[in-house]
Structure 1
Amino acid sequence: MTDVQDRNVTDDERDEHNERNGSQVDIVPLDAPGMRSPIEAPDFDELIRPVELKRRRPPLPTIIGTIVAVIAVIAVVVALIVLKPFSAVRASDYSTAAQQTSTMAKQYAATSAAVDDAFKFLYAQGVSYDASKEQTLKAQASKLGKSVDAFADLRAAKDPDVLAAYTVYATQAKHFVRLSENLADSAQPLSAMVTACGKTPSGTMYDADFITNYEQYIATCKAAVEPLDDAKAQVVSEFSSTLGRTLDQMTAIINQMKAIGDPSSYSSSSDQGKQLKDLSSQLVDLDTSYGALNTLQEQLRQSRENADPTALLDKLNVAIQQGYQRNGK
């Protein structure tokens, strides 16, 4: 009894202690509502019932970026489907290009003829410089340049082979345009040079005014040549430089003859007489008139021939024809 009483007292004390400290545990019967036996299977409907999760909305920049990306993809697809047919070079485009090359050929021929007309004073006696022809040449050269540039805007230029041939041709054609324009700027001073240097003094070293006439000729010719040193056309500036050196050689010979003295004072068999005769021959050989003019004419012809774009235009026409046969269906 004593042990049981002690245990009961102890239990009562423990219960009282738990009540004071709020740690009493309530025991729920197994048959209470909502409770199931530990060995009872769970309700299947509860297991498969969807769990409602909290919805997370993506950030606004992400949404905008996605929309922009979709629009960009759509734009590319539309460009490929809709615009590609319009970027193709068609038969009519090659025909238009062929018409333009015909125009360029005509403009080149007209420009070349304008060069001949503006520089006729170099080739025909009695023809003088005409300022209006110089202006005509400049205007015609400009037309040629514009016709060459216009080809670049044609649809046929989208053909790689046509574009390659055109690029080479355009480089040469524009070189001819610049040459023509630069020659036009040199027409007036060249005309002045022809007038001043066109006729060397006549007579022999025994004439009293032989030395004086040559000195005057050299001074006049040199004054007309110097402005050509700065000519934009290289063929003209090079000719001016060569002619200037020839005039300097003339001056050196005249000075040697003056240093020896009057030819009439020496016999032709004397050393002084022989020297004067040799120097006089050298002076005559230094042709600054007709011989120099012929040299200039040949140099001009060669320069124009080197700048002639006709052969390259023919290659461009071949590329256009091949493009028409290949793509212009």
Structure 2
Amino acid sequence: MSHGTNTLTRFGAVRQYPVDLAAVSIGAILAYGIITSFQEGSVLRLFVTFPLALFLPGYALVAVLFPASERRARETTSTAIERHPRGIDVVERVGLSLVLSVMIIPMIVIALPFTAWGLSTVSIAAALGVVTVVLAQLGVIRRLRTPNPERFTVSPIASLTGLRRDESAVATVSSILLVLAIGLAAGALLLGFLVPMSTGGFTELALYGEDDNGDLVAGEIEDEIEPGESVPVTVSIENQEEEEMDYTVIVQEQQLEDGAVVERTQLDDLQTTLSDGTTGTGDLSITPTAGDGETVRISVLLFEGDPPAEPTNENAAEDTYFWVTIEE
């Protein structure tokens, strides 16, 4: 007989399991699976990132903090004395969910680099999923321990009915609009972070010289040479354009007056093809043609594909330079 009672008790607990927190837990797990299974730039991956980052963890935390529903004064006492509500309504929950989610993300991002998993898309998605599921289960415990008349339950029909009958419906609508505004602002912020990383690329150009130990160091390029002497330079090109790229490098000696280039002399050039995510280096021996006592600018111009007929710093995809003085 006791066995049947225990079975019924377990089934009763299952029936009382909050539907909204079950959906939050399942949604977090599904979002993690999609984010780690689809490539960057996927529309579906971007779509599930929004609720996982901006809503689900905050909603689970709100469930822990506020297991009860809003109780108005006329519902809690028959006297004229008003009491403070022991919970919050649906609109307030949604608003707090957005705010708390935005607060949880930075804490996770700060903590992950100190763990064995490091900071990556997979580790962030996993951390958000774990935090959401754990908080949701704590929210279930808190809610089931709350007396049934005071317990928060999700009932869209009842919420709409209450909204129609509520004398402060205008204030409630204003709260809804505020929540929507917060959600759109947070979504636009997240989109600004995600879209450039998932759809954009870049190329990086750098120059290196050798120090006294023979190591390549940025900025260690000779700035004074004798006439006819060469300047050894190592050119580095990093391709992060998400596709194979053809590059052309033009080395120009430039004479400037009042900040404007008055004469250009091409000293060298090189061409290379780099796969996405790779870095190529090339050693150049640059010999300026300037005379004794002159100071010239050596510009290294990077072009994607073939360079234009008149290559300049302005029409180059990337450019960098250094100054050199010719002295006897």
TM-score normalised by length of structure 2: 0.25
- Higher relative CO (Cα under 8 Å, sequence separation at least 6) belongs to 1
Bigger share in strand: 2
Bigger share in helix: 1
Greater Rg by CA: 1
TM-score normalised by length of structure 1: 0.25
